Amino acid sequence: MDTSTIQSLEDQFTTGLFTKRPIAIVRGQGAHLWDADGKEYIDCVGGQGAANLGHANPAVAKAIADQAMRLISCPEMFYNDRRADLEQKLCGLTGMGSVYLCNSGTEAVEAAIKFARLLTHRTGIVAAMRGFHGRTMGALSATWESRYREPFLPLVPDFNHIPYNDGAALRAAITDQTAAVILEVVQGEGGVRPGDPDFLRLAQQLCQERGALLIIDEIQTGFGRTGRLFAFQRYGLQPDLLCAAKSIAGGIPMGATLLQSRLGKLPPQVHGSTFGGNPLACAASLAAIDIMVSERLPERAEELGTWFLGQLRQIQSPLIREVRGLGLMVGIELKQKVTPYLQELMARGVLALPAGMTVMRFLPPLVISKEDLGAAAEAVQEVLCA
């Protein structure tokens, strides 16, 4: 089918929830995508952070195919070999003690909120302004952006938002009724805003002193994106609960909530998932993590991200307010709305994301070549200096 036919079909039957760009992506390889009309693009959307290994990775595809021929579904009422291997690997890589497997980032956050309230017997949750944690009701309550929240008010009670990187506000917000503080190490949807290391370490200290739990949301920053396997490792943090998803399984839907050993085991049946920890996703995740580690993709993200940030900071454009990021999680904050410039980039064969109204966000696969990043930077210069 050509683009117009695909677009017509989707427009007829979709709910309308998604604002779509007028191209139909039908194939990918590494950091490149092709539309239904054969046009090639450099992918700096990266599946909104889910394609850290790039597209059509042969090792992940083989793991999925092999597992699909063996066993796809196996609920957690039974033990499973692939699940056991993955749980051991995730805990070993993070220093955590146990893991709940689910299907998405917002599910991982929902679980973390429930677990924090259960374990502390408290209800208060402190989150950050500009933070994004998902769109289900609990995760949405932790999310700041009003346009996501307002259609669904009232949300879950006892959520409080403070300015990000504001230590004084954090000190004032954590009380004897606070179950948890939830933070991103780099705010993604909120504009690619790295956390101040002192602020993040203060959050850990205050939680320990006041009996609250620290939830670190690594749904977008995890699995090599920021130059470490997980961004919290850069600052010597040890979260009580860790939320992961997106690239955890090489693009297959999956999420995870990891808990510190000291929190112990959770009571049976207080939470659950039909598809969470299914053997297919576990096999994909095991293959994906092996590639990330063996090919040193976090180190690659650190090196290429530093170079890419340098290239973008050399662009002399009156439209640019700031260029910031960590690893291959990069944002360009403009002085006006970003959508027209994203459209211009797409016309030049580069796909990028917004992060709020004014930030151009780049989440390329970690396997992207330096040449492709250079071409993306040149396209940005053309668009912003025209």
280 with 305, same domain: the answer is no
- pLDDT recorded at residue 379: 98
Range of the domain at 281: 59-294
Contact 216, 208 (CB under 8 A): no
Residue at a domain's end among 294, 315, 340:
294
Question: Among all chains, which residue has been given the structure tokens 């033990």?
Answer: 79
Q: Of 269, 294, 319, which residue constitutes the final position of a domain?
A: 294
Q: Are residues 279 and 364 located together in one domain of the fold?
A: no
The pLDDT value recorded for residue 226 is 98
Task: Please count the residues of the chain.
Answer: 386
Beta-ladder partners of 242: 216, 258
Indicate the helix (H) or strand (E) that contains 49: helix 46-49
Number of neighbouring beta carbons within 10 Å of residue 14: 10
One domain, residues 81 and 200: yes
Q: Do 349 and 277 share a structural domain?
A: no
Q: Which residue has the tokens 């470490």?
A: 228
Query: Count of H helices and E strands in the chain?
Result: 13, 17
Of the candidates 294, 315, 341, which is a domain's last residue?
294
What pLDDT does 160 receive?
A: 97
Contact call for residues 318 and 336 (beta carbons, < 8 A):
no
- Which member of 159, 199, 230, 246 is catalytic? 246
Give the chain's residues under pLDDT 50: none
- Strands 124-128 and 159-162, by their bridges, are parallel
Catalytic (active site) residue 217: yes
Tokens of 244: 């992961």
Give the pLDDT confidence score for residue 135 in this predicted structure: 97
Query: Are 20 and 338 in contact, with CB atoms under 8 Å apart?
Result: no
Tell me the C-alpha distance between 62 and 266, whole Å. Answer: 35
Provide the pLDDT for residue 386: 78
Q: Give the CA dihedral 327, 136, 97, 179, nearest 10 degrees.
A: 100
Which CATH number fits the domain that encloses residue 151? 3.40.640.10
Here the tokens at position 156 are 């879950």
Cα–Cα distance, 53 to 251 (Å, whole number) = 8
* Active site (annotated) includes residue 132: yes
What is the structure's pLDDT at 353?
97
The pLDDT of residue 109: 98
Task: Tell me the C-alpha distance between 299 and 297, whole Å.
Answer: 5
User: Are 81 and 98 within one domain?
Assistant: yes
- Catalytic (active site) residue 246: yes
Tell me how many domains the chain contains. 2
Asked if residue 86 and residue 35 are part of one domain, the reply reads no
Q: Name, in order, each residue with C-beta under 8 angstroms of 79's C-beta and a sequence gap of 6 or more.
A: none
Catalytic residue among 217, 240, 308, 372: 217
3-state secondary structure of 21: coil
Identified catalytic residue from 132, 223, 232, 308 = 132
At 151 the three-state DSSP class reads helix
Q: Are 349 and 39 in contact (CB under 8 A)?
A: yes
pLDDT, tens only, 71-110: 999 999 999 999 999 999 999 999 999 999 999 999 999 9
* Cα 226 from Cα 228, distance rounded (Å): 6
Summarize pLDDT for 250-292 with one digit per residue, the tens: 999 999 999 999 999 999 999 999 999 999 999 999 999 999 9
CB 220 within 8 A of CB 246: yes
Candidates 251, 300, 351; CA nearest to 42 is: 351
| One-character DSSP codes across 163-227 | -TT-HHHHHHH--TTEEEEEEESEETTTTSEEPPHHHHHHHHHHHHHHT-EEEEE-TTTTTTTTS
Same domain? 116 vs 203: yes
- Yes or no: say if 231 and 87 are a contact pair by the CB < 8 Å rule: no
Shared domain for 229 and 161, answered yes or no, is yes
Residues 342 and 264 in one domain: no
